[in-house]
Amino acid sequence: MSKSLTKNALTAGIARISVGTGDTPFDVHLELLCDHSPHFDDVYADRALKPITELPIRFPDDNSDVFSVLIGWMYRGQIAVKPSPQSVLFLIKLWILAGKFEMVELQNNLISLCKARIDDKSGTVFDDHTIHYVYSHTLPKSPLRLLVVDTWVRNATKSRFLGRDNPPRDFLEELCCALIEWKEGSAGREIPMRNEACETKRLATPDQLRSRKFKHPSPRIREASPASSLHVIPPISNRHRNDPNEQITSDMSSLQV
């Protein structure tokens, strides 16, 4: 909930702000702006001692549409973004802009709203463009990165993962760590079944064991000859092809962890 509009907030002057490449002008009540943003509070730190400048503060690299929603939240206490396929990315851009102006309360509201939008669409994961945008505009361990990774841990599939187009290395590392942490924390709980079909080898039944014929290897230690007390074991390639020990070695080489 944004701070309430008071007489002081609405009568202490106007801050003039220009946003975007087109220099979209915004006139915002100064005290309302400073109450919600420590960044602007520092910018206008001497506002009680000097007249407020009429020259606008410019933010040419920011999006004017995103900034207008940020200002609207200050006045109305609501995030005016309608649900749409692009709305989550817009909320992410708003979260990043709120971080620039140190507006923690708005950021917390945005994270909750993003989670709600994602939960409304079961199985949703962030696409490549959104992942790259998040990781190029945030620091490690930021709530936004954690949200992206957590969503992938819960909803990712093999086909979706293989379809990624060169995702950021940091994202892959954090996703692997999150999956390992989930695995370590799932001890004693049932592991979800995989969708992919897999072949499971079954043990032989007692009847099959009784009817099975076993070949016995010939003894390798023979009586020593008078000429020599040593017996040279022939190379593996010269042994009998049906040697059970050789078969076990062959079977083990085909196993993968």
Across the chain, how many H-helices and E-strands are there? 12, 3
Give the HSE-up count for residue 100: Cα atoms under 13 Å, Cβ half-sphere.
Answer: 14
pLDDT at 194: 35
33 pLDDT exceeds 90? yes
Confidence of residue 221 (pLDDT cuts 50, 70, 90): very low
Q: How far is residue 68's CA from residue 82's CA, in Å, rounded to a whole number?
A: 14
- pLDDT tens across 56-70, in order? 999 999 999 999 999
Average pLDDT over all residues of the chain = 77
State the pLDDT at residue 213: 54
Over residues 8-19, mean pLDDT? 84
For the chain, which residues make up each domain, given as ranges?
123-185
